[in-house]
């Protein structure tokens, strides 16, 4: 079994952080350094088809849960805290209901157990429109993406996955072909009648629509020992848009 790529920072109780769609563990470096100062051994994990982890045609949450389980066994971790954002939140929720004995506390950032209809089409179209033989500088890639993605913050986030594959040849670290092919998998619901009894914190962006009052009953059904906290002045990227409040809520919960 291939082991997920990670960066491990600090010493202490294991805190595993799982990024969202098109992201990578490195997006969480600033938070990881602070958690390490608080006495955690932080694992910034790249999920399959993202960052420096392996690429695969197969991509769904069952597979990502098995990847995570293999990772935890490889490093001989136990009683771990899990923090997942968006797609990473879906992974850690499913992991917690399947391997509850491995998990101490669970933090889910701006996603709920429900099904989300496929979206991200504009992003996928924009990414697939990049031709690295023509768009051979970061500036040219950004100009191409801007035709379909007006939000500079979203383009900046995506461009973090650009790297020089060889001299004069840029590429994306994520496996765009597999993510395009399997886009419908990203929004699937947590299976019915699955529960995790451990302490769980759901954080939602105040201006994000991913967790509304409608989601509260389904969260309660799957995670009976959970609470939902809203992070002010933030949308879906709550950890980046209001890092202070986000960090303080997580740190207080994990203490």
What residues are labeled active site? Answer: 86, 177, 236
**Roughly what angle, to the nearest 10 degrees, separates helices 121-128 and 138-146?**
140
Q: Check if the beta carbon of residue 63 is closer than 8 Å to that of residue 187.
A: no
Place of tokens 């969480």: 28
Tell me the torsion sign for CA atoms 8, 88, 20, 177: positive
203 pairs with which residues across the strands?
109, 229
Count Cβ atoms within 10 A of the Cβ of residue 195 and give its class: 0-12 exposed, 13-18 middle, 19 or more buried: middle
CA–CA separation, 146 and 155 (whole Å): 7
**Which value, to the nearest 10 degrees, does the dihedral of the CA atoms of residues 170, 175, 177, 179 take?**
-130
- Count other Cβ atoms within 10 Å, centred on residue 168: 10
Q: Rounded CA gap, 173 and 132, in Å?
A: 13
- Residues 10, 179: Cα–Cα separation, whole Å: 32
Q: Are 51 and 124 in contact (CB under 8 A)?
A: no
């Amino acid at each position: 079994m291939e082991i997920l790529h990670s960066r491990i920072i600090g010493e202490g109780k294991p805190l595993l952080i799982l990024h969202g769609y098109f992201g990578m563990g490195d997006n969480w470096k600033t938070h990881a350094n602070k958690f390490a100062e608080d006495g955690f051994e932080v694992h910034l994990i790249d999920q399959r088809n993202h960052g420096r982890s392996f690429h695969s045609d197969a991509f769904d949450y069952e597979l990502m849960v098995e990847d995570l389980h293999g990772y935890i066994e490889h490093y001989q971790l136990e009683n771990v805290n899990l923090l997942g954002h968006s797609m990473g939140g879906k992974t850690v929720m499913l992991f917690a209901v399947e391997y509850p004995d491995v998990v101490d506390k669970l933090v889910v950032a701006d996603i709920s157990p429900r099904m989300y209809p496929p979206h991200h089409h504009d992003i996928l179209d924009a990414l697939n429109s990049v031709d690295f033989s023509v768009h051979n500088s970061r500036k040219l890639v950004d100009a191409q993406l801007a035709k379909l993605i007006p939000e500079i913050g979203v383009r900046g986030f995506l461009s973090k996955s650009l790297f020089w594959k060889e001299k004069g040849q840029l590429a994306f670290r994520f496996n765009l072909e597999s993510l395009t092919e399997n886009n419908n998998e990203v929004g699937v619901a947590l299976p019915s009648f699955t529960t995790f009894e451990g302490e769980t914190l759901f954080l939602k962006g105040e201006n994000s629509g991913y967790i509304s009052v409608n989601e509260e009953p389904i969260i309660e059904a799957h995670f009976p020992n959970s609470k939902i906290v809203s992070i002010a002045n933030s949308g879906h990227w709550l950890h980046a848009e209001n890092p202070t409040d986000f960090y303080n809520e997580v740190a207080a919960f994990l203490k």
